[in-house]
């Protein structure tokens, strides 16, 4: 991932230095188990642990000749260790090291992403409670529908991110699996106990069965999970982009001192963070397709997956880490305009209460079909002639014959639309809630 979208901690996790360190962690764990089981001398283990070191620059230099990065790595280790290096990589194949190290990297990446999700959940809950009683028009098909609570949007997103957290926890468990089973996974040169003990030392589970590699459905699940989370963030940001449109202007990204919106138009305030989140989410989704393509490999293995994984595993982790960070900042700093929401609620001159009017008429004994026709004929005059819906309804002889003035006033009230928000919030957040002031 390019530096522009790389945060330090996740970028450091996927650095070449850390990758080779994880390779070394696996090699040392194998040596420790071999020494414990008497396969290699304990003196050799002490020599290996004391002397083993690597240089990224030197590994890259050796690889120019070997054209094999794991051999370049073990060759570099041998240069530092000396004669005892003959016991390094004992009975292993390259994928034993690479795939087990990948499990460590993916597990750690999940932990960083889980931290980011927890931070976003905290912000979503705070903003949900802040705007729990703030009325906003709901939209379906992009058209004004009925009133809702602005805070419910954040409650909805909180519930979705909680599901995403659970998905990521499952993906973490799926990828935190090592294999130390040799060239085609048959343990021809290793006791299966070695794999069990090595994985236990690394806090991984051993793969119940493997070929020369960990099976790539595991990586596909990880990348697919990241794609789902990115898609959720895409959805959140898309809503912000709409709210910030000039004609809507119900909320907008924080515009900081010194920020510029356009090189040509000084007046512009553009939803650039939201648009960036939407754009990078496309990259994460596209990478998940690579994960699916990598599941089908020839027989015990081929290497067509390897080059692609060097790109998509770090890039997806880094990209999602970045947009989780940006989404948290976006929602935390979102500037909200409740007065503009009220203006938009009134923009259709009462049409948003048509559903409530329909129910009021059916409660008075009018069939649903007839009540719908009465409400719709007045609503169409509002659309086509620009008239006020409530005024038309009060003048409609059929409706007046069934609803009193008080019942009509009640049908055009916001109160019922927000009456059950507390119950919804208790479902999402649990228990009685200490909410902010009525907005």
Q: What's the whole-number mean pLDDT along residues 32-52?
A: 97
How far apart CA 45 and CA 85 sit, in angstroms, is 9
| HSE-CB for 309 with a 13 A CA cutoff | 22
3-11+94-136+149-255+267-336 maps to CATH 1.40.20.10: no
Two domains, one topology: 3-11+94-136+149-255+267-336 and 342-429: no
pLDDT band at 262 (very low <50, low <70, confident <90, very high): confident
Residue 439 in this model has a pLDDT that exceeds 50? no
Domain boundaries, the chain: 3-11+94-136+149-255+267-336, 342-429
The pLDDT, as a whole number, for residue 412 is 94
Report the b/e string of 135-146 with b at 16+ CB within 10 A.
bbbbeeeeebeb
Instruction: Considering the candidates 15, 262, 404, 413, report the single residue annotated as catalytic.
Output: 262
Instruction: Please classify residue 245 by burial: count the beta carbons closer than 10 Å to its beta carbon, then call 0-12 exposed, 13-18 middle and 19+ buried.
Output: exposed
* Band of pLDDT at residue 119, cut at 50, 70 and 90: very high
- CB–CB of 374/320 below 8 Å? no
Q: What angle do CA 333, 334, 336 make, to 5 degrees?
A: 135
Mean pLDDT is lowest, of 15-19, 79-83, 257-261, 430-434, for 430-434
The yes-or-no answer on residue 85 being catalytic is no
User: pLDDT digit string (tens) for 58-111?
Assistant: 999 999 999 999 999 999 999 999 999 999 999 999 999 999 999 999 999 999
Closest CA to 402 of 368, 365, 376: 365
- The pLDDT tens digits for 199-210 are 999 999 999 999
141 catalytically annotated: yes
CATH class of the region 342-429 = mainly alpha
- For the chain, the average pLDDT equals 95
Q: What are phi and psi of 367, to 5 degrees?
A: -65, 155
pLDDT digit string, tens, across residues 304-352: 999 999 999 999 999 999 999 999 999 999 999 999 999 999 999 999 9
Q: Taking residues 31-55, what's their average pLDDT?
A: 97
* Backbone torsions φ then ψ of 159, nearest 5 degrees: -65, -40
Which 8-state DSSP code applies to residue 177? E
In angstroms, the CA 16 to CA 21 distance is 8
**Does residue 437 surpass a pLDDT of 50?**
no
Q: Are strands 205-206 and 177-178 parallel, antiparallel or unpaired?
A: parallel
Cα–Cα distance for residue pair 320/328, rounded to 1 Å: 12
pLDDT at position 171 over 60: yes
Residues in the chain: 439
Is the CB of residue 194 less than 8 Å from the CB of residue 44? no
Q: What is the pLDDT of residue 435?
A: 46
Residue 34: Cβ-neighbour burial (10 angstroms; 0-12, 13-18, 19+): buried
Tell me the two tokens of residue 333. Answer: 């700093």
SS3 138: strand
Q: How would residue 438 be classed by pLDDT, with cut points 50, 70 and 90?
A: very low
Q: Are the C-beta atoms of residues 408 and 394 closer than 8 Å to each other?
A: yes
* Residues whose CB is less than 8 angstroms from the CB of residue 375 and which lie 6 or more positions away in sequence, other chains included: 354, 357, 358, 361, 393
pLDDT tens sequence across 267-314: 888 999 999 999 999 999 999 999 999 999 999 989 999 999 999 999
What is the share, in percent, of the chain residues with pLDDT greater than 70?
98
Helix (H) or strand (E) holding 170: helix 150-175
DSSP string of 356-391, one letter each residue: HHHHHHHHTT--HHHHHHHHHHHHHHHHHH---HHH
């Amino acid at each position: 991932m390019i530096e522009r979208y790389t945060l330090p901690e996740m970028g450091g996790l996927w650095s070449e230095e850390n990758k080779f360190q994880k390779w070394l962690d696996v090699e040392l764990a194998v040596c420790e188990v071999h020494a414990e089981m008497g396969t290699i001398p304990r003196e050799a283990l002490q020599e290996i642990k004391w002397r083993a070191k690597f240089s990224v620059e030197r590994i890259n230099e050796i690889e120019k000749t070997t054209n094999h990065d794991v051999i370049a790595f073990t060759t570099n280790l041998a240069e530092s260790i000396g004669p005892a290096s003959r016991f390094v990589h004992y009975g292993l194949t390259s994928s034993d090291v690479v795939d087990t190290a990948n499990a460590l990297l993916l597990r750690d990446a999940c932990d960083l992403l889980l931290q980011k999700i927890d931070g976003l959940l905290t912000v979503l809950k705070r903003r949900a409670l802040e705007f729990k009683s703030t009325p906003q028009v709901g939209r379906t098909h992009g058209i004004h529908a009925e009133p809702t609570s602005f805070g419910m949007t954040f409650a909805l997103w909180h519930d979705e991110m909680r599901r995403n957290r659970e998905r990521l926890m499952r993906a973490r468990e799926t990828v935190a699996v090592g294999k130390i089973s040799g060239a085609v996974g048959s343990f021809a040169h290793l006791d299966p106990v070695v794999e069990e003990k090595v994985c236990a030392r690394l806090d991984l589970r051993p793969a119940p069965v493997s070929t020369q590699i960990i099976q790539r459905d595991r990586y596909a699940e990880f990348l697919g999970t990241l794609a789902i989370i990115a898609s959720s963030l895409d959805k959140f940001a898309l809503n912000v982009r709409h709210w910030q449109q000039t004609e809507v202007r119900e909320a907008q990204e924080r515009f900081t001192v010194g920020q510029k919106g356009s090189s040509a138009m000084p007046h512009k305030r553009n939803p650039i963070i939201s648009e960036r989140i939407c754009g990078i989410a496309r990259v994460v989704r596209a990478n998940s397709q690579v994960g699916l393509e990598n599941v089908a490999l020839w027989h015990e293995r081929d290497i067509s997956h390897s080059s692609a994984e060097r790109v998509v595993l770090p890039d997806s982790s880094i990209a999602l880490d970045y947009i989780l960070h940006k989404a948290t900042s976006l929602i935390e700093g979102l500037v909200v305009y409740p007065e503009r929401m009220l203006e938009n609620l009134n923009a259709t001159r009462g049409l948003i209460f048509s559903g409530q009017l329909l129910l009021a008429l059916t409660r008075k004994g009018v069939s649903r079909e007839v009540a719908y026709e009465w409400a719709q004929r007045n609503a169409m005059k509002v659309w086509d002639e620009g008239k006020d819906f409530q005024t038309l309804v009060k003048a409609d002889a059929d409706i007046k014959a069934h609803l009193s003035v008080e019942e009509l006033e009640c049908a055009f009230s916001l109160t019922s639309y927000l009456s059950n928000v507390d119950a919804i919030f208790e479902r999402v957040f649990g228990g009685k809630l200490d909410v902010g002031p009525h907005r």
